[in-house]
Structure 1
Amino acid sequence: MKWMVRGPLLAAWVLLLAACASGGGRKPAPPALVDPEDVAAAQARQSTREAWLHGRKEWGFEARVAVSQAGKGGSGRLDWRQQGARYTASLSAPVTRQSWRLSADEAGARLEGLEGGLRQGADADQLLREATGWDIPVQTLSDWARGLSGGGRPEFGPEGQLQALDQAGWRIRYTEWLPAAGDQPAMPRRIEAERGQARVRLIVDRWDLGAAP
């Protein structure tokens, strides 16, 4: 029964993986800041932007996402919408016209769109892993996407922006940023995360950070 559920989703993502994974080899990251004064200044700027972002309770983004694990994977489009503690992550594979939607709040998580009907559980990461086989850190993806360091160990690039983050066994790299606009801080554009054989790549096409509280 488990393979009947996973099959359609795996097929859709494998067909699309090459388009997102064919961008060539990874460019080496510039040296991280090491001077204590420079690091302190970067951390202060990071704290300011995090405070600004924490003040937005309703926000979202549209992105391209690619996932691979043990040599298998796929890609599609991700639409993330956050309303307080509740979020909805909708993923679609345009070529195959398949899609699913994961929503979660303090009461639990719901996964819709897979063969077999609605699935529910207390933990969004576990629910997705059991249904699809993919190790995707859904619970913390929203923080990573916004460039929030959380309880991780951050590294800053030459321009003082967050460049890498180690958290819960994951290595997250920020390889491109969108510039600040008005009072809105700079936002991540390209993000790569990996842990063991699991890899997630996110390219954000549009941010919607909502109105001021």
Structure 2
Amino acid sequence: MRLLRGVGIACCLALAGCVTVPDGDGVAIGDLSASAEAAATATLQARERRLQALPALSFSGRVALSGGSRGGGTGRIEWRQSGDRYQVTLSAPVSRQSWRLSGDAGSATIEGIAGGPRSDTDVERLLREATGFEIPVGALAAWAGGARADAAEFGPARLEFTGDGRLARIEQDGWTIDYLGWAEQDPGDSESSDGRPPLQLPDRINAARGEAKVRLAIDAWSWAPETP
């Protein structure tokens, strides 16, 4: 479940024949020109390389979940990812309820639910049984960063770009992730210190698979490593 594990050659092959312009804002659906496709691909791959090189990637914001056995819900989300390790906290200010999910590639534990903490080797199953919601924890950190998830684990990704080459959609593992807004970030990495452009990261994302929907509005990003 590493943040950007395997975004190299295996994922790059998934670009072939999958670059289209999404239907919206007056942009007709159709293939990008060869030069536009090359530029869009290069921008995506550069973002993936920079994200992969960061010691950690965290974001905070608002989340809306729907389509689960419990209907839906909204609240605050805090997500921290460092390699395979993750910690996700969801809280509902009105009800003052919250739960925390933590784990790595081999196991996950959820706390703050009725009956006490629960653990499982399958994080999606754990969340579904404990909360009633479908949340793609294994891939969401990568998708939230505007990158493809591990192709070996989640399959190839189909991509769509806007007419000006900005990533508009990722389709992977049955999920459709739409990117509705972007913001410039300065992670202080070697590329930004060399005077290269700031890192472009999403700030509004909709993810859906069937009736399950996850909507994110990201307020802040962070990449500081954990302190002892």
Q: TM-score range by the shorter chain?
A: 0.7 to 0.9
Q: Which residue is 1:124 aligned to?
A: 123
Distance 1:195 1:106, change over 3 A: closer
> Percent identity between the aligned chains?
43
**1:123-170 deviations in Å (ceiling 9; x for gaps):** 111100011111111111101110102331111113322100111111
Q: Structure 1: how far apart are the matches of 2:108 and 2:46?
A: 31
Distance 1:106 1:194, change over 3 A: closer
1:147 aligns with 2:152: no
Residues 26-37 of structure 1: matches in 2 within 5 Å?
A: 28-29=24-25, 31=27, 34-37=32-35
* 1:179, distance to aligned residue in structure 2 (A): 2.3
1:55 to 50, 53, 56: 53
Q: Which residue is 2:37 aligned to?
A: 39
Q: Structure 2: how far apart are the matches of 1:30 and 1:204?
A: 26
Q: Structure 2: how far apart are the matches of 1:195 and 1:29?
A: 23
Structure 1 stretch 134-143 or stretch 31-40: which is displaced more?
31-40
Q: In structure 1, what residue type is equivalent to 2:182?
A: W
What are the ranges of 5 or more consecutive residues in structure 1 without an aligned counterpart? Answer: 1-26
Q: Which residue is 2:209 aligned to?
A: 195
Residues 52-91 of structure 1: matches in 2 within 5 Å?
A: 52-69=50-67, 72-91=71-90
2:177 to 153, 156, 172: 172
Q: Structure 2: how far apart are the matches of 1:194 and 1:49?
A: 23
* 1:30, distance to aligned residue in structure 2 (A): 5.4
Question: Quick check: 2:208–2:214 contact (8 Å CA) kept in 1?
Answer: yes
Q: How many residues get paired?
A: 185
Question: Quick check: 1:163–1:174 contact (8 Å CA) kept in 2?
Answer: yes
What are the ranges of 5 or more consecutive residues in structure 2 without an aligned counterpart? Answer: 1-22, 150-155, 193-197
Question: Quick check: 1:110–1:120 contact (8 Å CA) kept in 2?
Answer: yes
Question: Quick check: 2:32–2:163 contact (8 Å CA) kept in 1?
Answer: no
Question: Quick check: 1:91–1:100 contact (8 Å CA) kept in 2?
Answer: yes
Q: Structure 2: how far apart are the matches of 1:149 and 1:113?
A: 31
Q: Structure 1: how far apart are the matches of 2:172 and 2:105?
A: 23
Q: In structure 2, what residue type is equivalent to 1:133?
A: G
Q: Structure 2: how far apart are the matches of 1:173 and 1:102?
A: 24
Give the structure-1-normalised TM-score: 0.81
Q: In structure 1, what residue type is equivalent to 2:212?
A: A
SS at match of 1:114: coil
User: Structure 1 stretches (4+) deviating beyond 4 angstroms?
Assistant: none
SS at match of 1:57: coil
Give the structure-2-normalised TM-score: 0.76
SS at match of 2:94: coil
Q: Which residue is 1:23 aligned to?
A: none
SS at match of 1:158: coil
Q: Structure 2: how far apart are the matches of 1:141 and 1:29?
A: 26
